[in-house]
Amino acid sequence: MTTASARSPWYQRKQTRDIALVGCFLLPSLAVFFLYRILPLGWNAMLSFQSWSPLKAAKWIGLENYEEMLLDDDVFWDALTNTLIFIGCSPIAIALALGIALLVNSDLKGAAIYRTIVFLSYPLMTVAVGIIWRWLYDVRGGFFNYVLRSTGAIDEPVKFLQSFDWALPCVIAAEFWQVLGFYMIILLTGLQSIPQHLYEAARVDGVPAHARFLRITLPLLRPSIFLCIVVGILNSFTSFDLVYVMTNGGPGHATELLITYIYKAGFGQTRFDYAAALTVVQFLLLVVLTVIANKLSGGNAGSLER
Amino acid sequence: MRRAPTWPRHAIMLAVCLLMLVPFYWVIKTSLTGENIYAWPPSIIPVNPHLFNYVDVWYLIPFPRYLLNSVIVTIMAISGNLLFNTAAGYALTKQFPGKRWIVLLLLSCMLIPFQATIIPAYLITSWLGVLNSWLGIALPMLSTIICIFIFKASFEAVPRSLIDAARVDGLSEWRIVVRILLPLSKPAIATNVILNFIWSWNAFLWPLIVVRSPDMQTLPLGLARFLSVMEDTTGALFAFVVMVLVPGLTIFLMAQKEFIRGLTSGATKG
């Protein structure tokens, strides 16, 4: 037997074995993602064009679900507006986090302790955060009413979470408290990747501090800021826990987000088809906003996808 | 060089930290308050402090049952992630036809938030027949794309020659992973365990959808149920909150570095 002829089937066998191995190793993860990401996305899109409930057969109804949503459903518009306000407020939190990040990034003594404390609220269970904040806003036992009343700023206690004007800002403030540390960490990582010699060169050239910030720090932070904005957009989904516990969308629908409305439509009223149509809108909103954020941050912030 | 004094910065940071800590303090204070928590004005320090509320939690709700459910689901999620992500991460370090497509597929899956798929995910879970079970709660959390890439990066950092030497010595592929690669990837393992612990421990929306019977409820569901049954009328609710938060906080404080690295690498490297 010559080596050449023996080698090629052996090599082929080895290659098939390698591919089989790769397949086996990848299969469990891919199965999970197929079952819970890809299949649901497709099914969801299909469901949104159907009339279906667990008890009756599916029927294609075209755009009827969407028509109902866009033309007849005031709650949908409330939920959409609130979601957009929710997302629109996240730049405030990002700006605050940037301020904190700049402070703790300097050679401040004890910066590590400050960082830990600011970040401490992020890994908490959101349901528990909701309960804590609900209590802080409480009319009698709450911290805010206590402070406001004992300093004489108000005479009557404010029913924060029961008021149409205050409920949404209050929920957003609770969300800020939880996510601020995460923004700070992302921005800190970004700040630390900016080469120090740029600042030194600018200082030698006599560039004033605010110009250094505007011309060096901000442009080089773009990818991190983009990331924060994406996190802010995604938080309008994940804040379900917070809203569910704090107000459950109330009073009326003053704090209804799209995600809480989807839950109510799907699992409260068993209108899976309509909830699917709502989900499609929410997902498209996410995609569109992410693309816009990417464009605004200079379009080069694709480091997330790359 | 002239330097600005540091005290204003300290002052700002102290104020920020104080604001961040107030909610923690307020809930701990309330949980220790022995008397009516609605008394006006609320006192800054707990009146007549004792641990009565913490004992109460054990009588008012099936706390051990919630804890058991949470622990089992979390263990399932963590072990599933370690096993599947290691395997997938190792497979991705190899060259094979269609690899580019698999990577692209995984990256685009990462952009689909789980919350955007809940309706069909519920139907699929019900079709699989695992509604209202530990497996049903853990199933979507059994593998995480971010963590696969963390493992991949960590495995790629191991020198090729070491793997080749092991292969020459006749180690099987699985043994190479377990004996050579994993011991050299401790930070990746830590990141995996911590991130998945936090995610599955805190998960609320998915268990809320899947769980039907009270004895399958996890801690977050127990909290929400307690709130809806009792409203916030008793200090026991806040004792419950503190008890639920302690494990997460402990893990975070013990492994802060790995935790933060995991979050940032997951978020930036994709």
pLDDT above 90 covers a percentage of chain A that reads: 32
Q: What is the pLDDT of residue B269?
A: 40
Alpha-carbon distance A33 to A30, whole Å?
A: 5
Q: Are residues A154 and A247 in the same domain?
A: yes
In this structure, the answer to whether residues A208 and A297 fall within a common structural domain is: yes
What confidence category does residue A31 fall into, taking pLDDT thresholds of 50, 70 and 90? very high
Tell me, yes or no, whether A57 lies in a domain: no
**pLDDT class for A1, splitting at 50, 70, 90?**
very low
pLDDT band at B265 (very low <50, low <70, confident <90, very high): low
- The answer to the question of residue A55 being in a domain is no
Residues A255, A167 share a domain: yes
pLDDT for res A301: 44
B266 band by pLDDT with thresholds 50, 70 and 90:
low
- DSSP letters along chain A, please? --HHHHHHHHHHHHHHHHHHHHHHHHHHHHHHHIIIIIHHHHHHHHHTTEEEETTEEEEE-TTHHHHIIIII-HHHHHHHHHHHHHHHTHHHHHHHHHHHHHHHHSS-TTHHHHHHHHHTTTTS-HHHHHHHHHHHT-TTT-HHHHHHHHTTS-SSPP-GGG-TTTHHHHHHHHHHHHHHHHHHHHHHHHHHTS-HHHHHHHHHTT--HHHHIIIIIHHHHHHHHHHHHHHHHHHHHHTHHHHHHHTTT-STTTT--HHHHHHIIIIIS--HHHHHHHHHHHHHHHHHHHHHHHHHTTS--GGGT-
> What separation, in Å, do the N-terminal and C-terminal C-alpha atoms of chain B show?
41
pLDDT band at A2 (very low <50, low <70, confident <90, very high): very low
A43 and A77, same domain (yes or no): no
Asked whether the beta carbons of B218 and B211 are under 8 A apart, the reply is yes
Separation of alpha carbons A212 and A214, rounded Å: 6
Assess whether the previous peptide bond of B120 is cis (omega < 30° from 0).
no
Please report where in the chains the tokens 């890994």 appear, as a residue.
A123
Instruction: Please check whether residues A31 and A168 belong to one and the same domain.
Output: no
- CA dist A249 and A254 (Å) reads 6
What is the rounded average pLDDT of the residues B107-126?
87
In this prediction the ipTM stands at 0.87
State which residue of chain B sits closest to A180, comparing Cα positions.
B20
What's the average model confidence in pLDDT over B114-141? 90
Do B195 and B144 contact (CB within 8 A), yes or no? yes
**For B210-234, what is each residue's pLDDT tens digit?**
998 888 999 999 999 888 887 766 7
Please give, rounded to a whole number of angstroms, the shortest distance from the CA of A296 to a CA of chain B: 18
B124 alpha-carbon distance from chain centroid? 24
Q: How confident is the model at residue A263 (pLDDT cuts 50, 70, 90)?
A: very high
Closest-CA residue to A279 (of A54, A67, A80, A56): A80
Interface test with B, best of A17, A21, A25 (most B CBs within 10 A): A25
Q: Searching chain A, which residue's CA lies closest to the CA of residue B251?
A: A123
pLDDT average, residue stretch B21-25 = 92
Q: What is the pLDDT of residues A217-247, one digit of tens each?
A: 888 888 888 888 888 888 888 889 999 999 9
- Structural domains in chain B? 49-269 (1.10.3720.10)
* A43 and A161 inside one domain: no
Distance in angstroms (rounded) separating the CA atoms of residues A286 and A80:
12
**If pLDDT is split at 50, 70 and 90, which confidence band does A306 have?**
very low
Confidence of residue A303 (pLDDT cuts 50, 70, 90): very low
Q: Residues A47-65: what's their mean pLDDT? A: 82
Are A126 and A262 contained in the same domain?
yes
CB B28 within 8 A of CB B242: yes
Quote the pLDDT of residue A10: 75
pLDDT (mean) for B178-195: 88
d(CA B223, CA A179): 21
Question: What is the arithmetic mean of pLDDT over A60-81?
Answer: 87
Place of tokens 């006749």: B170
Q: Check pLDDT > 80 for residue A201.
A: yes
Q: CATH code at A147? A: 1.10.3720.10
Q: What is the DSSP string of B187-225?
A: HHHHHHHHHHHHHHHH--HHHHHH--SGGG--HHHHHHH
Residue A103 lies in a domain: yes
CB atoms B113 and A143 under 8 Å: no
With beta carbons less than 8 A apart as the criterion, state whether A168 and A249 touch. no
What does pLDDT average to over chain A?
86
Within a domain: residue A59? no
Q: What is the DSSP string of B50-104?
A: -SHHHHHHHHHS-HHHHHHHHHHHHHHHHHHHHHHHHHHHHHHHS--TTHHHHHH
The verdict on A75 and A102 lying in the same domain is: yes
Q: In Å, how far is A9's CA from the nearest CA of chain B?
A: 18
- The shortest CB-CB distance from B112 to any of A19, A41, A181 is to A41
State the pLDDT confidence band at B3, using cuts at 50, 70 and 90.
Answer: low
Q: How many residues does chain B have?
A: 270
**pLDDT greater than 90 at residue A271:** no
If pLDDT is split at 50, 70 and 90, which confidence band does A73 have?
confident
Cβ-count burial A197-233 (b if 16+ within 10 Å, e if not): eeeeebeeeebeeeebeeebbeeebbbbbbbbbbbbb
pLDDT for the residue numbered B108:
85
What is the pLDDT at residue B259?
78
pLDDT digits (tens, 9 = 90+) for A170-200: 999 999 999 999 999 889 988 888 888 888 8
Domain with A114, as residue range(s), is 64-304
The 10s digit of each residue's pLDDT in B38-71 is 766 777 777 777 788 888 888 888 889 999 999 9
For residue A158, being part of any structural domain is answered with yes
Q: What is the pLDDT of residue A298?
A: 65
Asked whether residue A217 falls in the same domain as residue A162, the answer is yes
Quick one: A122 and A29 in the same domain? no
Q: Helices B63-93 and B145-156 meet at what angle, rounded to 10?
A: 50
Q: What pLDDT score does A296 carry? A: 80
Q: Distance, in angstroms, between B11 CA and closest chain A CA?
A: 11
Condensed to tens digits (0 to 9), the pLDDT of residues A123-168 reads 889 999 999 999 999 888 888 888 888 888 788 888 888 888 889 9
Q: For residues A81 and A150, state if they share a domain.
A: yes
Number of domains in chain A: 2
Which of B115, B143, B148, B197 to mutate to probe the A interface, most A CBs <10 Å? B115
- One domain for residues A41 and A119: no
In a domain, A190, yes or no: yes
Percent of chain B at pLDDT exceeding 90: 27
